[in-house]
Chains A and B, each alone.
Chain A
């Protein structure tokens, strides 16, 4: 029912468009720093762990780069970064809409004759679907770059071996799989968080509870749909 109202025809497209741009800033641009920091560090950690695990002299060292690329593209950037964004963006959305609910701002929109669900939630979903792929692409790039820096500086592998590894056996359809996951997760994070925010009743305590529920259920759904999509794309 809520989603029916969210995707109802916009009452004034120009206002919705303006809101989408605002939300791209709120949801996407403001998450750049956290995504960048986590990606660089995780890329470094994955590289060192991969190198540490390779004990046989028969395994070439370019496998370090290969493993890092696969881990980052297939799972770390699309799933783990989205789980982190579920915490940051999800709690933000739920508390923002929840606070609007308990301070009667949503009632004010409704009384003005505005479809509050569409006005508040649709721009957030659209913005996340538009900006998340860019955030995740950046995360992939920085993760692999972080791996290079740590791999070379720690002596785990040479720069040449790492670069050779990240290019070896590359299959472009894996990016298609990853970005499909990202789009689904973007929808899950924004819609679940908006749902909990929109249905907040009570006071500040309930806003906090909605925020927690938004993060918990978004995370569970991300893991569930991650498994389903992996099963669809990767199982033989």
Chain B
């Protein structure tokens, strides 16, 4: 479980994250949703320590991340897997080397054990047999899946995904969503997903925070989100004509 309490962040005179509090539950896909530029990615970057918070607390299973020393922070980070928007695979390494990298750095597994784990992870994301390909040889969807394989290779306790569906076709988006949802439930991971994709909300929104202009505007789950009176949230949820129609038909 990860808990954020009244976190704030400003860049110069721009107050980007304003008193945001939320509990990201273990074994659930926790979604941070909102319009582009509302502060979603900044919240995740604050949580993983890529930016320093101005005030507030970020607590990983009882450990206040911001009061920890560098070594303890690095220990917590070894339990984090992250899927970046662009994949962030290491260009100079093959797919196999990318997935094996956290194992090389942080485990004492034998070469054979590492290979087993790599092959298992690649199989899990349906990239078996692609071990020797370089990131430049992969499609956008394959890069995302490869990045997910790397993120889960060292059995993380926490999984962060920054817009996992951006730039993907609907079919591949669903595959990625399902993979994230499945690994979250199978391995009881605390998963945090930043998205503005309503399909993801409908598919995998176990626990949702809607961020509007840097504030936590609403919290709930996928069963509640369509029945909210809040104007800003309704504008976001029903921005698509397709969803409006489906919702109307469903209610009649």
Contact = CB atoms under 8 A, between A and B. Distances in A.
Interface in A82-107: 99-100, 103-105, 107
Interface stretch (A58-66, A108-116, A181-189): A108-116
B12 to A, nearest CB: 14
Contacts of A30: none
A236 interface: no
Nearest to B158: A111
B161 interface: no
B48 A111 contact: yes
Nearest to A114: B105
A126 B171 CA distance: 47
Contacts of B76: 113
5 contacts: A100-B90, A104-B86, A104-B88, A108-B90, A112-B106
Nearest to B106: A113
A105 B80 contact: no
Contact of A111 (B50, B89, B90, B106): B50
B166 to A, nearest CB: 13
A103 B106 contact: no
Contacts of B84: 104, 107-108
A205 B84 CA distance: 22
A15 interface: yes
Contacts of B49: 110-111
Given A15-B104, A15-B105, A105-B91, A112 B77 contact: yes
B78 interface: yes
A11 interface: yes
B75 interface: yes
A104 B77 CA distance: 16
Interface residues of B, number: 24
A96 to B, nearest CB: 8
B123 interface: no
Range for the number of chain A residues in contact with chain B: 10 to 19
B36 interface: no
Contacts of A99: 91
B102 interface: yes
A107 B44 CA distance: 12
Contacts of B91: 99-100, 103, 105
B88 A112 contact: no
B11 to A, nearest CB: 12
B248 to A, nearest CB: 40
A113 B86 contact: no
A105 B77 contact: no
Interface in A1-19: 11-12, 15
A107 B50 contact: yes
A112 B90 contact: no
Contacts of A11: 105
Closest 3 CB pairs of A and B: A113-B77, A113-B78, A104-B88
A38 to B, nearest CB: 27
B110 to A, nearest CB: 14
Contacts of B86: 103-104
B88 A110 contact: no
B88 A107 contact: yes
Nearest to B50: A107
Nearest to A102: B86
Contacts of B73: 113
B67 interface: no
